[in-house]
Amino acid sequence: MAGASRGLGLLVAKELLSRDFDVAVCARDAAELARAREMLSPFGTVHDYVCDVAEADQVEALVRDVERDLGPVDVLITVAGIIQVGSVEGVTVEQFRDAVTTMIMGPVHTALAVLPGMRERGRGRIGTIASVGGLVSVPHLLPYCTAKFGAVGFSEGLAASLSGTGVTATSIDPGLMRTGSHERAYFTGESQNEYAWFAPSASLPVLSMNADRAARLIVDGVLAGRPIVLLGWLPKVAQRVRGIAPGLTIRALGVVNRVLPSASPQQTDLVVGATAKQRLGSRVVNALSTLGSKAAQRNNER
């Protein structure tokens, strides 16, 4: 489990433990990873490793350590990600670089590191957490969607490339989920106003999916070797609408962009969600985000 110290990754690791897997979790923050290990250890055997999946040499060392400690890797699921929310005026090249190195090169590094052993054994499962943002590129999440489109392309191409080998690759494309990620997302431009729309969207039922259920469906799909897993109504609708009317979809998203906060090119500082929440101080937004905030507490997002 790459990127399993909090949020969805933590829940997927827990789901694997419930199915009697020995689980290796990695993340780049050692303190966060230690808390995750404490949260997961009551459910089964878990080993934790500090690793930045954006760095190929670290990933290669990680796989060697995992195989030494636990044996061959049967299942790889890469969840590591970074959410940056803001208008294009407030986005920098560095923000794109961070998103791409984590959410495209991360899955590439992890998959290529385990693939030789899996192919030699003639079995293995590789899952990459992409997003509805990898199917339809939405405004105010441009670095995120850019990277997720790459993750979808890599995973789907890998699935085709592995046909007949006994090794499968699964692209998991969820919509919004109630993981509490809005408190750890980064906001640029008018950060407080960006938080005001994003936090409720990632928290309200119907708009967002129960993350525990999502974790179960993710593990089901990866173990079954399905090439694509769409989670929730949003990616299913988005995929169909864009397939039928791609130009109309982009124009509709342009209308959405016009009602979202704008920013000046000078407003490029990233503000973490918890700070934006505190600065905003809105009882209404906090009330609408209640379920997401409770999830943040449960899922090590604080």
What sign for the dihedral angle of Cα 142, 184, 62, 225?
negative
What sign for the dihedral angle of Cα 156, 140, 101, 123?
negative
CB of 163 within 8 A of CB of 227? no
Phi and psi at 204, nearest 5°, equal -75, 140
Torsion of CA 210, 216, 221, 223, to 10 degrees: 160
Q: SS3 of 47, please?
A: strand
CB atoms within 10 A of CB 28: 17
Strand-pairing partners, residue 208, are 205
**Best CA proximity match to 223, nearest among 171, 173, 168:** 168
CA–CA separation, 202 vs 182, rounded Å? 7
Q: What is the CA radius of gyration of the chain?
A: 19
CA–CA separation, 197 vs 176, rounded Å? 13
CB of 213 within 8 A of CB of 177? no
The yes-or-no answer on residue 144 being catalytic is: yes
Residue 162 identity (one-letter amino acid): L
CA–CA separation, 45 vs 37, rounded Å? 10
Q: Which of 49, 144, 186, 195 is catalytic?
A: 144
Chain-centre distance for alpha carbon 29: 16
Residues annotated as catalytic are 144
